[in-house]
Amino acid sequence: MNRLDGKIAFVSGAACGIGAATVRLMVEAGAKVAIGDLLDERGRETARSLKEAGGQSVYVHLDVTSADDWGAAIAATVAHFGGLDILVNNAGIFLAKDLEESTKADWERLYGVDLTGVILGTQTALPALRERGAASPQGSAIINLSSMVGLVGSALAPLYSLTKGGITAFTKSMALEFARKRYRIRVNSIHPGIIDDEMGDQAIAARTRNEGQGQHGVGPRAGERCPSHWPLGHCYRHRPWHRFPSIG
């Protein structure tokens, strides 16, 4: 028996990057997974590749800043698979600007995705998670993607750090609230460092620009730059879930 046999998961921002790697691992572990994203072509391709490999997956269009989109996405997931056991609030964007460079519009776009998206996803999925959790020996689970900078801050991206710190505090608050209400829903956050993907490339470019290296602020990709620049001597690859017991 696989860890996630019979489980139904929804992962936001899962057309590519950490999200896509997460749904692949969940399907390998036996879960049925709904992929939510704005990148329709890439999302459908991810879902198609999972089906071709024998998994059960469906793609739904999702703008995480829209309550209507969240309502439609969770309803479609429940209708297609019959419920919801796991929510992964993964969707996020990166702002590679310091405080003096950042505008109010930058901040509104950033918190709309990175914070509002997590709140809306949790609110919308809660009834379905609560129902399945009450009937399951393991309960249900919410996993929020924060970041290392949500714990220690960043000299390069203070507003991004603020959103990720907010996710960390929100996660703890939801765990306490659900415990108080005796909901059988675990809530945990994951705090990746630099990942070798498109967002990781943005972070590396920001550091390169800050250090005055690279032509026009463009440096090597994350996977090329990290070995000599980051603790442990490497970037992390897309295998973030296999050591974490919170999703089963």
Per-residue pLDDT of 50-59, as tens digits, reads: 999 999 999 9
Domains and CATH numbers, the chain: 8-192 (3.40.50.720), 194-241 (no CATH)
* Mean per-residue pLDDT, 213-241: 45
Q: Say whether 59 is catalytic.
A: no
Phi-psi region of 178 (alpha: psi -120 to 50; beta: other; left: phi over 0): alpha
* Mean per-residue pLDDT, 177-182: 98
What's residue 248's pLDDT?
A: 42
140 backbone dihedrals φ, ψ, rounded to 5°: -110, 175
What's the pLDDT tens digit per position in 233-246?
A: 444 444 443 333 34
239 backbone dihedrals φ, ψ, rounded to 5°: -135, 60
* Mean per-residue pLDDT, 119-140: 97
Task: Give the Cβ contact number of residue 128 at 10 Å.
Answer: 20
What's residue 223's pLDDT?
A: 46
Structure tokens at 214: 């690279």
Catalytic entry in 59, 111, 160, 183: 160
What's residue 38's pLDDT?
A: 97
